[in-house]
Protein backbone atom coordinates (compact mmCIF):
# COMPACT_ATOMS: atom_id res chain seq x y z
CA UNK A 1 0.00 0.00 0.00
CA UNK A 2 1.79 3.08 -1.27
CA UNK A 3 1.56 6.33 0.66
CA UNK A 4 0.79 8.24 -2.55
CA UNK A 5 -2.29 6.16 -3.35
CA UNK A 6 -5.98 6.68 -2.65
CA UNK A 7 -5.99 3.31 -0.87
CA UNK A 8 -3.59 4.65 1.75
CA UNK A 9 -5.54 7.87 2.26
CA UNK A 10 -8.68 5.82 2.94
CA UNK A 11 -6.74 3.42 5.16
CA UNK A 12 -5.25 6.30 7.14
CA UNK A 13 -8.68 7.90 7.59
CA UNK A 14 -10.06 4.65 9.01
CA UNK A 15 -7.01 4.14 11.23
CA UNK A 16 -7.12 7.67 12.66
CA UNK A 17 -10.90 7.59 13.19
CA UNK A 18 -10.80 4.21 14.91
CA UNK A 19 -7.81 5.23 17.01
CA UNK A 20 -9.50 8.31 18.48
CA UNK A 21 -12.79 6.47 18.91
CA UNK A 22 -10.93 4.08 21.25
CA UNK A 23 -8.85 6.73 23.00
CA UNK A 24 -10.34 5.93 26.43
CA UNK A 25 -9.74 2.18 26.05
CA UNK A 26 -6.00 1.63 26.20
CA UNK A 27 -5.87 -2.09 25.44
CA UNK A 28 -8.47 -1.95 22.67
CA UNK A 29 -6.67 1.03 21.13
CA UNK A 30 -3.42 -0.91 21.02
CA UNK A 31 -5.17 -3.95 19.59
CA UNK A 32 -6.81 -1.83 16.90
CA UNK A 33 -3.47 -0.29 15.89
CA UNK A 34 -1.84 -3.72 15.88
CA UNK A 35 -4.52 -5.24 13.62
CA UNK A 36 -4.52 -2.24 11.27
CA UNK A 37 -0.74 -2.44 11.02
CA UNK A 38 -0.92 -6.16 10.24
CA UNK A 39 -3.45 -5.41 7.52
CA UNK A 40 -1.18 -2.69 6.12
CA UNK A 41 1.76 -5.09 5.86
CA UNK A 42 -0.31 -7.94 4.45
CA UNK A 43 -1.21 -5.89 1.38
CA UNK A 44 2.27 -6.70 0.01
CA UNK A 45 2.41 -10.34 1.02
CA UNK A 46 -0.03 -11.82 3.56
CA UNK A 47 2.33 -14.67 4.42
CA UNK A 48 5.31 -12.57 5.44
CA UNK A 49 3.41 -10.97 8.30
CA UNK A 50 4.10 -14.27 10.07
CA UNK A 51 7.82 -13.54 9.78
CA UNK A 52 7.42 -10.16 11.49
CA UNK A 53 5.24 -11.73 14.18
CA UNK A 54 7.93 -14.32 14.84
CA UNK A 55 10.35 -11.45 15.51
CA UNK A 56 7.80 -9.97 17.89
CA UNK A 57 7.41 -13.18 19.90
CA UNK A 58 11.08 -14.19 20.02
CA UNK A 59 12.38 -10.74 20.89
CA UNK A 60 9.67 -10.01 23.44
CA UNK A 61 10.47 -13.26 25.25
CA UNK A 62 14.21 -12.54 24.98
CA UNK A 63 13.78 -9.07 26.50
CA UNK A 64 11.67 -10.34 29.38
CA UNK A 65 14.11 -13.16 30.17
CA UNK A 66 17.13 -10.85 29.97
CA UNK A 67 15.50 -8.34 32.29
CA UNK A 68 14.40 -11.02 34.77
CA UNK A 69 17.85 -12.43 35.58
CA UNK A 70 21.25 -11.24 36.77
CA UNK A 71 22.97 -14.37 35.49
CA UNK A 72 25.32 -13.13 32.76
CA UNK A 73 25.40 -16.49 31.01
CA UNK A 74 21.61 -16.57 30.69
CA UNK A 75 21.46 -12.95 29.61
CA UNK A 76 24.06 -13.54 26.90
CA UNK A 77 22.29 -16.72 25.82
CA UNK A 78 18.99 -14.90 25.28
CA UNK A 79 20.77 -12.04 23.52
CA UNK A 80 22.40 -14.68 21.30
CA UNK A 81 18.99 -16.18 20.50
CA UNK A 82 17.72 -12.77 19.36
CA UNK A 83 20.82 -11.99 17.33
CA UNK A 84 20.86 -15.41 15.69
CA UNK A 85 17.19 -15.24 14.73
CA UNK A 86 17.18 -11.66 13.46
CA UNK A 87 20.49 -11.70 11.64
CA UNK A 88 19.84 -15.23 10.43
CA UNK A 89 16.52 -14.39 8.79
CA UNK A 90 17.92 -11.14 7.37
CA UNK A 91 20.92 -13.02 5.98
CA UNK A 92 18.84 -15.81 4.51
CA UNK A 93 16.34 -13.60 2.68
CA UNK A 94 18.64 -10.76 1.68
CA UNK A 95 22.21 -12.04 1.43
CA UNK A 96 22.13 -15.82 0.94
CA UNK A 97 22.22 -15.83 -2.87
CA UNK A 98 24.89 -13.13 -3.04
CA UNK A 99 27.30 -14.81 -0.63
CA UNK A 100 26.75 -18.25 -2.14
CA UNK A 101 27.43 -16.81 -5.59
CA UNK A 102 30.53 -14.98 -4.39
CA UNK A 103 31.86 -18.14 -2.72
CA UNK A 104 31.21 -20.20 -5.85
CA UNK A 105 32.97 -17.61 -8.04
CA UNK A 106 35.98 -17.61 -5.72
CA UNK A 107 36.22 -21.39 -5.76
CA UNK A 108 35.81 -21.30 -9.53
CA UNK A 109 38.93 -19.15 -9.81
CA UNK A 110 40.74 -21.95 -7.96
CA UNK A 111 39.47 -24.50 -10.45
CA UNK A 112 36.76 -25.92 -8.18
CA UNK A 113 33.29 -26.06 -9.68
CA UNK A 114 30.61 -26.33 -7.01
CA UNK A 115 26.82 -26.20 -7.30
CA UNK A 116 25.09 -22.93 -6.46
CA UNK A 117 21.97 -23.39 -4.36
CA UNK A 118 19.58 -20.56 -5.15
CA UNK A 119 16.90 -19.36 -2.75
CA UNK A 120 13.97 -18.29 -4.94
CA UNK A 121 11.97 -16.14 -2.51
CA UNK A 122 10.75 -12.56 -2.44
CA UNK A 123 12.57 -10.18 -0.15
CA UNK A 124 10.16 -9.31 2.69
CA UNK A 125 9.44 -5.60 2.37
CA UNK A 126 10.99 -3.55 5.17
CA UNK A 127 13.01 -6.43 6.63
CA UNK A 128 16.16 -4.32 7.07
CA UNK A 129 14.19 -1.64 8.91
CA UNK A 130 12.20 -3.75 11.35
CA UNK A 131 15.17 -6.06 12.03
CA UNK A 132 17.28 -3.13 13.21
CA UNK A 133 14.37 -1.76 15.25
CA UNK A 134 13.78 -4.95 17.17
CA UNK A 135 17.52 -5.60 17.68
CA UNK A 136 17.93 -2.15 19.23
CA UNK A 137 15.26 -2.98 21.82
CA UNK A 138 16.85 -6.28 22.84
CA UNK A 139 20.34 -4.79 23.01
CA UNK A 140 19.13 -1.81 25.06
CA UNK A 141 17.41 -4.13 27.55
CA UNK A 142 20.59 -6.22 27.72
CA UNK A 143 22.59 -3.06 28.45
CA UNK A 144 20.01 -2.20 31.16
CA UNK A 145 19.31 1.15 29.56
CA UNK A 146 15.57 0.69 29.13
CA UNK A 147 12.94 -1.71 30.46
CA UNK A 148 11.30 -4.27 28.15
CA UNK A 149 7.86 -3.81 26.61
CA UNK A 150 5.03 -4.32 29.07
CA UNK A 151 3.16 -6.92 27.03
CA UNK A 152 3.33 -8.90 23.81
CA UNK A 153 0.62 -6.65 22.34
CA UNK A 154 2.58 -3.57 23.36
CA UNK A 155 5.71 -4.83 21.62
CA UNK A 156 3.86 -6.09 18.55
CA UNK A 157 2.19 -2.71 18.06
CA UNK A 158 5.55 -0.95 18.36
CA UNK A 159 7.30 -3.15 15.81
CA UNK A 160 4.44 -3.28 13.28
CA UNK A 161 3.22 0.30 13.67
CA UNK A 162 2.33 1.01 10.05
CA UNK A 163 3.73 4.53 9.38
CA UNK A 164 7.35 3.47 9.93
CA UNK A 165 7.07 -0.27 9.25
CA UNK A 166 8.38 -0.70 5.71
CA UNK A 167 10.77 2.21 5.08
CA UNK A 168 11.52 3.86 8.37
CA UNK A 169 12.50 5.96 10.09
CA UNK A 170 14.15 3.31 12.27
CA UNK A 171 12.36 4.04 15.53
CA UNK A 172 14.05 2.73 18.67
CA UNK A 173 11.96 1.31 21.45
CA UNK A 174 12.60 4.02 24.02
CA UNK A 175 11.17 6.61 21.61
CA UNK A 176 7.87 4.90 20.74
CA UNK A 177 7.11 2.26 23.39
CA UNK A 178 6.37 4.86 26.13
CA UNK A 179 4.18 6.86 23.73
CA UNK A 180 2.03 3.80 22.98
CA UNK A 181 1.18 3.44 26.68
CA UNK A 182 -0.09 6.99 27.10
CA UNK A 183 -3.24 8.67 25.86
CA UNK A 184 -1.85 11.21 23.42
CA UNK A 185 -3.26 14.72 23.30
CA UNK A 186 -5.13 15.87 20.22
CA UNK A 187 -4.53 19.53 19.44
CA UNK A 188 -5.34 21.55 16.31
CA UNK A 189 -1.66 22.43 16.04
CA UNK A 190 -0.58 18.80 15.99
CA UNK A 191 -3.23 17.89 13.40
CA UNK A 192 -2.18 20.85 11.26
CA UNK A 193 1.50 19.89 11.47
CA UNK A 194 0.65 16.29 10.60
CA UNK A 195 -1.35 17.33 7.54
CA UNK A 196 1.41 19.71 6.48
CA UNK A 197 4.01 16.92 6.66
CA UNK A 198 1.77 14.61 4.60
CA UNK A 199 1.23 17.30 1.96
CA UNK A 200 4.96 18.06 1.83
CA UNK A 201 5.89 14.38 1.59
CA UNK A 202 3.39 13.61 -1.17
CA UNK A 203 4.50 16.68 -3.13
CA UNK A 204 8.14 15.58 -2.92
CA UNK A 205 7.27 12.06 -4.04
CA UNK A 206 4.76 12.70 -6.83
CA UNK A 207 5.72 16.08 -8.25
CA UNK A 208 9.51 15.78 -7.97
CA UNK A 209 10.80 12.24 -7.39
CA UNK A 210 8.44 10.35 -9.71
CA UNK A 211 8.62 13.01 -12.43
CA UNK A 212 12.42 12.98 -12.49
CA UNK A 213 12.45 9.19 -12.43
CA UNK A 214 10.09 8.71 -15.38
CA UNK A 215 11.23 11.62 -17.54
CA UNK A 216 15.00 11.46 -17.18
CA UNK A 217 16.69 9.19 -14.63
CA UNK A 218 15.25 5.80 -15.61
CA UNK A 219 15.69 6.50 -19.32
CA UNK A 220 19.36 7.40 -18.89
CA UNK A 221 20.18 4.36 -16.73
CA UNK A 222 18.32 2.06 -19.14
CA UNK A 223 20.39 3.30 -22.10
CA UNK A 224 23.29 5.59 -21.11
CA UNK A 225 24.87 5.44 -24.56
CA UNK A 226 21.92 7.42 -25.96
CA UNK A 227 22.85 10.45 -23.84
CA UNK A 228 25.70 12.92 -23.93
CA UNK A 229 28.11 13.30 -21.03
CA UNK A 230 26.42 16.49 -19.89
CA UNK A 231 22.98 14.86 -20.06
CA UNK A 232 24.28 11.94 -17.99
CA UNK A 233 25.54 14.41 -15.38
CA UNK A 234 22.17 16.17 -15.30
CA UNK A 235 20.47 12.77 -14.89
CA UNK A 236 22.80 12.01 -11.96
CA UNK A 237 21.80 15.32 -10.39
CA UNK A 238 18.23 14.26 -11.07
CA UNK A 239 18.70 10.93 -9.32
CA UNK A 240 20.36 12.65 -6.38
CA UNK A 241 17.26 14.81 -5.92
CA UNK A 242 14.89 11.95 -6.77
CA UNK A 243 16.21 9.70 -4.02
CA UNK A 244 16.19 12.57 -1.52
CA UNK A 245 12.60 13.61 -2.32
CA UNK A 246 11.47 9.98 -2.52
CA UNK A 247 12.94 8.87 0.82
CA UNK A 248 12.50 12.09 2.79
CA UNK A 249 9.00 12.34 1.33
CA UNK A 250 8.21 8.90 2.73
CA UNK A 251 9.54 9.99 6.12
CA UNK A 252 7.40 13.13 6.01
CA UNK A 253 4.23 11.13 5.34
CA UNK A 254 5.16 8.59 8.03
CA UNK A 255 5.78 11.30 10.63
CA UNK A 256 2.66 13.19 9.58
CA UNK A 257 0.50 10.05 9.78
CA UNK A 258 1.79 9.29 13.27
CA UNK A 259 1.23 12.90 14.33
CA UNK A 260 -2.46 12.60 13.43
CA UNK A 261 -2.57 9.99 16.20
CA UNK A 262 -0.61 12.13 18.63
CA UNK A 263 2.69 10.25 18.22
CA UNK A 264 6.09 11.68 17.36
CA UNK A 265 8.57 9.84 15.12
CA UNK A 266 12.19 10.98 14.70
CA UNK A 267 13.39 13.09 11.79
CA UNK A 268 15.52 11.26 9.24
CA UNK A 269 16.98 14.07 7.10
CA UNK A 270 18.55 17.45 7.72
CA UNK A 271 19.30 19.04 4.32
CA UNK A 272 22.08 16.50 3.66
CA UNK A 273 23.40 18.14 0.49
CA UNK A 274 24.62 21.10 2.54
CA UNK A 275 27.18 18.82 4.20
CA UNK A 276 30.80 19.96 4.22
CA UNK A 277 32.29 16.45 4.58
CA UNK A 278 31.37 12.75 4.28
CA UNK A 279 31.02 12.60 8.06
CA UNK A 280 28.59 15.52 8.06
CA UNK A 281 26.63 13.92 5.20
CA UNK A 282 25.98 10.75 7.20
CA UNK A 283 24.91 12.83 10.19
CA UNK A 284 22.29 14.44 7.95
CA UNK A 285 21.23 11.58 5.62
CA UNK A 286 19.18 8.61 6.87
CA UNK A 287 19.94 9.80 10.38
CA UNK A 288 18.24 6.90 12.13
CA UNK A 289 20.36 4.33 10.27
CA UNK A 290 23.71 6.07 10.69
CA UNK A 291 23.03 6.76 14.38
CA UNK A 292 21.95 3.12 14.85
CA UNK A 293 25.23 1.81 13.43
CA UNK A 294 27.16 4.40 15.43
CA UNK A 295 25.58 3.25 18.71
CA UNK A 296 25.48 -0.50 18.07
CA UNK A 297 28.57 -1.05 15.89
CA UNK A 298 31.01 1.86 15.98
CA UNK A 299 30.95 2.53 19.74
CA UNK A 300 31.04 -1.16 20.75
CA UNK A 301 34.09 -1.61 18.49
CA UNK A 302 35.81 1.10 20.52
CA UNK A 303 34.86 4.17 18.51
CA UNK A 304 37.72 6.65 18.52
CA UNK A 305 39.15 5.60 21.90
CA UNK A 306 41.79 3.26 20.52
CA UNK A 307 44.79 3.81 18.27
CA UNK A 308 44.37 5.89 15.10
CA UNK A 309 44.55 2.73 12.96
CA UNK A 310 41.81 1.07 15.01
CA UNK A 311 39.68 4.22 14.83
CA UNK A 312 40.04 4.29 11.04
CA UNK A 313 39.08 0.63 10.84
CA UNK A 314 36.02 1.20 13.04
CA UNK A 315 34.94 4.12 10.84
CA UNK A 316 35.50 2.23 7.62
CA UNK A 317 33.65 -0.88 8.82
CA UNK A 318 30.66 1.16 9.98
CA UNK A 319 30.32 2.88 6.63
CA UNK A 320 30.91 -0.39 4.81
CA UNK A 321 28.00 -1.91 6.73
CA UNK A 322 25.84 1.06 5.76
CA UNK A 323 26.60 0.19 2.15
CA UNK A 324 25.71 -3.49 2.31
CA UNK A 325 22.68 -2.75 4.51
CA UNK A 326 21.17 -1.33 1.35
CA UNK A 327 21.55 -4.46 -0.74
CA UNK A 328 23.36 -7.68 -1.55
CA UNK A 329 25.43 -6.89 -4.62
CA UNK A 330 28.95 -5.85 -5.53
CA UNK A 331 27.60 -2.38 -6.28
CA UNK A 332 26.72 -1.87 -2.62
CA UNK A 333 29.92 -3.51 -1.42
CA UNK A 334 31.95 -0.98 -3.41
CA UNK A 335 29.56 1.85 -2.47
CA UNK A 336 30.05 1.17 1.23
CA UNK A 337 33.82 0.77 0.82
CA UNK A 338 34.04 4.11 -1.03
CA UNK A 339 32.13 5.98 1.65
CA UNK A 340 34.18 4.28 4.35
CA UNK A 341 37.38 5.26 2.57
CA UNK A 342 36.18 8.85 2.18
CA UNK A 343 35.36 9.00 5.88
CA UNK A 344 38.82 7.68 6.82
CA UNK A 345 40.63 10.13 4.51
CA UNK A 346 38.60 13.05 5.81
CA UNK A 347 39.35 12.16 9.44
CA UNK A 348 43.05 11.61 8.70
CA UNK A 349 43.62 15.00 7.03
CA UNK A 350 41.32 16.79 9.47
CA UNK A 351 43.21 15.45 12.47
CA UNK A 352 46.53 16.13 10.80
CA UNK A 353 45.58 19.77 10.33
CA UNK A 354 45.09 20.10 14.09
CA UNK A 355 41.66 21.71 13.68
CA UNK A 356 38.65 20.97 15.87
CA UNK A 357 35.85 22.33 13.65
CA UNK A 358 35.20 24.23 10.44
CA UNK A 359 32.76 26.82 11.76
CA UNK A 360 35.30 29.61 11.26
CA UNK A 361 36.13 28.76 7.66
CA UNK A 362 35.63 31.57 5.13
CA UNK A 363 32.48 31.32 3.03
CA UNK A 364 34.33 30.47 -0.16
CA UNK A 365 35.97 27.47 1.52
CA UNK A 366 32.63 26.29 2.95
CA UNK A 367 31.13 26.47 -0.54
CA UNK A 368 34.01 24.42 -1.96
CA UNK A 369 33.57 21.80 0.77
CA UNK A 370 29.83 21.59 0.14
CA UNK A 371 30.36 21.28 -3.63
CA UNK A 372 33.05 18.64 -3.20
CA UNK A 373 31.00 16.54 -0.79
CA UNK A 374 27.89 16.91 -2.94
CA UNK A 375 29.64 15.71 -6.10
CA UNK A 376 31.24 12.79 -4.27
CA UNK A 377 27.74 11.73 -3.22
CA UNK A 378 26.37 12.27 -6.74
CA UNK A 379 29.07 10.20 -8.43
CA UNK A 380 29.04 7.40 -5.86
CA UNK A 381 25.31 7.02 -6.43
CA UNK A 382 26.04 5.62 -9.88
CA UNK A 383 26.77 2.40 -7.98
CA UNK A 384 23.64 2.87 -5.85
CA UNK A 385 21.27 3.24 -8.82
CA UNK A 386 22.82 1.03 -11.51
CA UNK A 387 21.46 -2.56 -11.45
CA UNK A 388 24.88 -4.14 -12.11
CA UNK A 389 28.55 -3.26 -12.09
CA UNK A 390 28.50 -3.43 -15.87
CA UNK A 391 25.71 -0.86 -16.02
CA UNK A 392 27.58 1.38 -13.56
CA UNK A 393 30.64 1.10 -15.81
CA UNK A 394 28.61 2.06 -18.87
CA UNK A 395 27.22 5.17 -17.15
CA UNK A 396 30.70 6.16 -15.97
CA UNK A 397 32.18 5.66 -19.44
CA UNK A 398 29.48 7.82 -21.02
CA UNK A 399 30.00 10.50 -18.37
CA UNK A 400 33.71 10.66 -19.23
CA UNK A 401 33.15 10.67 -22.99
CA UNK A 402 33.18 14.46 -23.28
CA UNK A 403 29.99 15.24 -25.25
CA UNK A 404 28.07 18.34 -24.24
CA UNK A 405 24.62 18.59 -25.81
CA UNK A 406 21.57 19.03 -23.54
CA UNK A 407 18.92 18.54 -26.22
CA UNK A 408 17.22 15.62 -24.43
CA UNK A 409 16.63 17.49 -21.17
CA UNK A 410 13.20 19.11 -21.46
CA UNK A 411 12.27 22.46 -19.95
CA UNK A 412 9.87 20.69 -17.56
CA UNK A 413 12.74 18.56 -16.24
CA UNK A 414 14.80 21.72 -15.73
CA UNK A 415 11.93 23.35 -13.81
CA UNK A 416 11.34 20.35 -11.56
CA UNK A 417 15.07 19.86 -10.95
CA UNK A 418 15.49 23.54 -10.09
CA UNK A 419 12.46 23.35 -7.79
CA UNK A 420 13.88 20.32 -6.01
CA UNK A 421 17.14 22.12 -5.25
CA UNK A 422 15.16 25.15 -4.10
CA UNK A 423 13.13 23.04 -1.67
CA UNK A 424 16.21 21.29 -0.33
CA UNK A 425 18.39 24.36 0.14
CA UNK A 426 15.64 26.65 1.44
CA UNK A 427 16.46 27.82 4.97
CA UNK A 428 14.58 25.95 7.66
CA UNK A 429 12.91 29.11 8.86
CA UNK A 430 11.13 29.49 5.52
CA UNK A 431 9.74 25.95 5.71
CA UNK A 432 8.70 26.53 9.32
CA UNK A 433 7.03 29.80 8.33
CA UNK A 434 4.96 28.07 5.63
CA UNK A 435 4.09 25.29 8.09
CA UNK A 436 3.00 27.76 10.77
CA UNK A 437 0.89 29.69 8.28
CA UNK A 438 -0.85 26.48 7.23
CA UNK A 439 -1.41 25.39 10.82
CA UNK A 440 -2.95 28.79 11.64
CA UNK A 441 -5.49 28.57 8.80
CA UNK A 442 -9.15 27.99 9.74
CA UNK A 443 -10.39 24.45 9.06
CA UNK A 444 -12.35 25.40 5.88
CA UNK A 445 -9.25 27.01 4.35
CA UNK A 446 -7.16 23.95 5.29
CA UNK A 447 -9.73 21.92 3.36
CA UNK A 448 -9.29 24.17 0.32
CA UNK A 449 -5.50 23.78 0.48
CA UNK A 450 -5.88 20.00 0.73
CA UNK A 451 -8.26 19.94 -2.25
CA UNK A 452 -5.93 22.06 -4.39
CA UNK A 453 -2.97 19.89 -3.40
CA UNK A 454 -4.89 16.74 -4.34
CA UNK A 455 -5.73 18.24 -7.73
CA UNK A 456 -2.08 19.15 -8.38
CA UNK A 457 -0.91 15.70 -7.34
CA UNK A 458 -3.43 14.01 -9.62
CA UNK A 459 -2.38 16.25 -12.51
CA UNK A 460 1.34 15.64 -12.00
CA UNK A 461 1.11 11.95 -11.10
CA UNK A 462 2.91 9.60 -13.45
CA UNK A 463 0.81 7.19 -15.47
CA UNK A 464 3.01 4.37 -14.20
CA UNK A 465 3.30 3.41 -10.54
CA UNK A 466 6.71 4.32 -9.12
CA UNK A 467 7.34 2.48 -5.83
CA UNK A 468 9.37 4.10 -3.09
CA UNK A 469 13.07 3.43 -3.68
CA UNK A 470 13.73 2.20 -0.15
CA UNK A 471 11.03 -0.49 -0.34
CA UNK A 472 13.68 -2.71 -1.94
CA UNK A 473 15.81 -2.55 1.21
25 part of the active site: no
Q: Which is the catalytic residue, given 326, 339, 360, 375?
A: 326
- Reduce the secondary structure of the chain to three states and give it as a string: CCCCCHHHHHHHHHHHHHHHHCCCCHHHHHHHHHHHHHHHHHCCCCCCHHHHHHHHHHHHHHHHHHHCCCCHHHHHHHHHHHHHHHHHHHHHHHHHHHHHHHHHHHHHHCCCCCCCCCCCCCCCCCHHHHHHHHHHHHHHHHCCCCCCCCCHHHHHHHHHCHHHCCCCCCCCHHHHHHHHCCCCCCCHHHHHHHHHHHHHHHHHHHHHHHHHHHHHHHHHHHCHHHCCHHHHHHHHHHHHHHHHHHHHHHHHHHHHHHHCCCCCCCCCCCCHHHCCCHHHHHHHCCHHHHHHHHHHHHCCCCCCCCCHHHHHHHHHHHHHHHHHHCCCCHHHHHHHHHHHHHHHHHHHHHHHHCCCCCCCCCHHHHHHHHHHHHHHHHHHHHHHHCCCHHHHHHHHHHHCCCCCCCCCCCHHHHHHHHHHHHHHHCCHHHHHHHHHHHHHCCHHHHHHHHHHHHHHHHHHCCCCCCCCHHHHC
Residue positions annotated with a catalytic role: 326
Amino acid sequence: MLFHSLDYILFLAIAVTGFWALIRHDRWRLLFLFLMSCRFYMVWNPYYVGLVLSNVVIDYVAQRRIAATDDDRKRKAWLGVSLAWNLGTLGMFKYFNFFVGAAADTLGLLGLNVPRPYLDVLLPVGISFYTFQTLSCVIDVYRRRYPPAQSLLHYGTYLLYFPHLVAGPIVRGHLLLPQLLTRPPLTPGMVGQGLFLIIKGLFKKVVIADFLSVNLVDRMFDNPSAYTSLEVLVALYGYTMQIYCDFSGYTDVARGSAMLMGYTLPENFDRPYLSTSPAAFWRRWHITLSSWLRDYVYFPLGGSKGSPVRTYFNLWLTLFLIGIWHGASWNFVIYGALHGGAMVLHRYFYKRSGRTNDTHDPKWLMVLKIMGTFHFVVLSRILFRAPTLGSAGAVTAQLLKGSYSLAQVSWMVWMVLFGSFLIHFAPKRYVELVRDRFVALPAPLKGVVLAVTAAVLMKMASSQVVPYIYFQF
